[in-house]
Amino acid sequence: MKFGLSEFHLQIKGVARDFAESVLKPTVIERDIEARFPEEEVRQMGELGFMGMLVPEEYSGLNTGYLAYVIVMEEIARVDGGTSTIMSVQNSLIEWPILRYGSEEIKRRYLPLLARGEWLGAYCLSEAEAGSDAASQKSTAIKKGDRYILNGTKVWITTGGHASLFIVFAQSNPQLKHKGINAFVVERNWNGVIIGKKEDKMGIRTSDTHTIIFEDVEVPETHRLGVEGEGFKIAMSVLNGGRIGIAAQAVGIAQGAFEIAAKYATERHTFGKPIIDHQAIAMKLAEMKTRIEAARLLLYEAAYNADLGRDYSLQASVAKYYASETAMFVTTEAVQILGGYGYVREYHVERMMRDAKITQIYEGTSEIQQLVISRHLARM
C-alpha cells in the first residue's frame, strides 16, 4: 500500500527491507532457538539511524517523525519480531521521554549514545503486582537532600540484560497515590543496580527480558524526569507513543506471515489445483489481507496525528488493539494454511505466531486498550 507515502518514506522503507532481508533473515531462526540477542544486528541498526528515529539531529538522531518510524518498524518486524521489540523500546520508551521530559544536560549526556545505538535503554514500570494496574507501584524513591534513594524490583524488563540505562518509576509519596510517582534515569553501573533472572519466553526470544532489582540506589535529583510527582503521567504519555510502535510491530509480523502463506497457497497443490483455488483457503487469505490493510491504516492515522502534534492517545490504543488482534489472527491462519510445514521452525510462521502473542499483552493488554478506548468514549 503506497497511500500517503512520500518519496522519502518509500526510500527508507526500501532501506529497512533490504537490511531485514539481508542481515536479519539469515540468522532469525537460529537466534530464536538460542534466545540470542542480536548485538551485531542492533549495532548496524544504530549506524542506519533506526535506533534514534524520533531524536533531533543535534542529539545524533535521524529525526524522521513517527510515520517513517512505523514504516521501518513494520519492515523489521516483517522478518524478525524480536529485534523490532528492541528497536521499539529504544525509540518510544527510552529516547522519547528523555527528549520530552529530560533537562538539557540529561539530553546532551544520554541521547547521542542512545540514538547511535551505542547504549541501549530499558523501561522499568512493571512490577510483580503492578502490571495492568500501573499506578500501584511498590518500588520507592525517598528524597534525601539532593538525591532519591531507590528501592524495588521490576519485572518483565525488555532489553534488561543489555541496557546501559534504565528509566525507572517509583513511588515517592504513597499518600498521593499516582501523583506521588516519579520517573528517573538510572545508569546500569551505579551501585545497587542488579540484573536479575532472564525469562525463557514463548516468543520474541532474540529480545531479552529480565527482572531488575534496585537496592538503595542513589539517584541525583537531576536525573528525575519532569517535575516532582509527574512520573505516572510520564509513564502514560510514553505508552501512548509506545503503543504506536507495538501496533507497527504487529502489522509487520502479520504482513510477514501473510506473504509466506499467500506464496505457499499459490505453489502448494491439492486435489489437482493450487490450494489458493480452494475457497476455504482463498477466503482465509482475503480475510487476512483485509484485516492487515485496515490495521495499517489505523496505524498510519495514529502516526500521522503524532507527527502533527495532535492528541493521539485514542488512535494509538485503537491501532494497537486492532493490529495486535490482527497479528494473532493472521499468524494463526498462516500456520493453518501451511499445515504441517507451518508447525515446524523452517517455515517461519510458527515463530511469527509465537511473536504475535506478546503484542496482545505488553504495553497494555488488549483488554487495557479496550478500557482506554471506552474511557475516551465516555468523555466524548
Nearer to ligand CAA, 6 or 132 (CB): 132
Alpha-carbon span 186 to 297, nearest angstrom: 37
Site membership for ligand CAA, residue 132 (CB under 6 A) = yes
Site membership for ligand CAA, residue 140 (CB under 6 A) = no
Alpha-carbon span 260 to 343, nearest angstrom: 13
58 is catalytic: no
48, 236, 282, 297: which one binds ligand CAA (CB under 6 A):
236
Reading phi first (left if > 0) and then psi (alpha if -120 to 50, else beta), residue 177 is in left
The answer for residues whose C-beta is within 8 angstroms of residue 334's C-beta and 6 or more apart is: 257, 258, 260, 261, 288, 342, 349, 352, 353
As given in the structure block, the three cell numbers for residue 272 are: 489437482
50, 96, 232, 321: which one binds ligand CAA (CB under 6 A):
232
Residue with cell 519532569: 226
R_g over Cα of the chain: 21
As given in the structure block, the three cell numbers for residue 34 are: 538460542
Specify the pairing of strand 181-187 against strand 165-171.
antiparallel
Query: 301, 350, 363, 367: which one is catalytic?
Result: 363
Residue with cell 535529583: 221
Alpha-carbon span 365 to 329, nearest angstrom: 16
* One-letter amino acid for residue 21 of the chain: E
| Binding residues among 97-126 for ligand CAA as defined by CB under 6 A | 123, 125-126
CB of 258 to ligand CAA, least distance (A): 24
| Binding residues among 158-197 for ligand CAA as defined by CB under 6 A | 158, 178
Site membership for ligand CAA, residue 96 (CB under 6 A) = no
Site membership for ligand CAA, residue 64 (CB under 6 A) = no
Question: What is the pattern of x (binds ligand CAA, CB under 6 A) and - over residues 295-314?
Answer: ------------------x-
Nearer to ligand CAA, 51 or 265 (CB): 51
Contact region for ligand CAA (CB under 6 A) — 22-30, 32-40, 285-293, 364-372? 364-372
For residue 68, the 8-state DSSP code is: H
Q: Do residues 32 and 82 make contact, with C-beta atoms less than 8 angstroms apart? A: yes
CB of 99 to ligand CAA, least distance (A): 17
Nearer to ligand CAA, 100 or 143 (CB): 100
Site membership for ligand CAA, residue 134 (CB under 6 A) = yes
DSSP-assigned states of every residue in 306-365: HHTT---HHHHHHHHHHHHHHHHHHHHHHHHHHGGGGGSGGGSHHHHHHHHHHHTTTTS-
Nearer to ligand CAA, 201 or 268 (CB): 201
Q: Do residues 128 and 178 make contact, with C-beta atoms less than 8 angstroms apart? A: no
Site membership for ligand CAA, residue 22 (CB under 6 A) = no
Nearer to ligand CAA, 156 or 258 (CB): 156
Give bridge partners of residue 84 from the DSSP assignment: none
Give percent helix, percent strand, percent coil of the chain, each to the nearest 5: 60, 15, 25
CB of 203 to ligand CAA, least distance (A): 12
For residue 188, report the phi and psi dihedrals to the nearest 5 degrees: -60, -35
53, 86, 89, 155: which one binds ligand CAA (CB under 6 A):
89
Contact region for ligand CAA (CB under 6 A) — 45-53, 98-106, 234-242, 248-256? 234-242
Nearer to ligand CAA, 5 or 135 (CB): 135
CB of 260 to ligand CAA, least distance (A): 25
Question: Which residues are the active-site residues?
Answer: 363
- Return residues touching ligand CAA (CB under 6 A): 89, 123, 125-126, 132-135, 156, 158, 178, 232-233, 236-237, 239-240, 313, 362-364, 368, 371-372
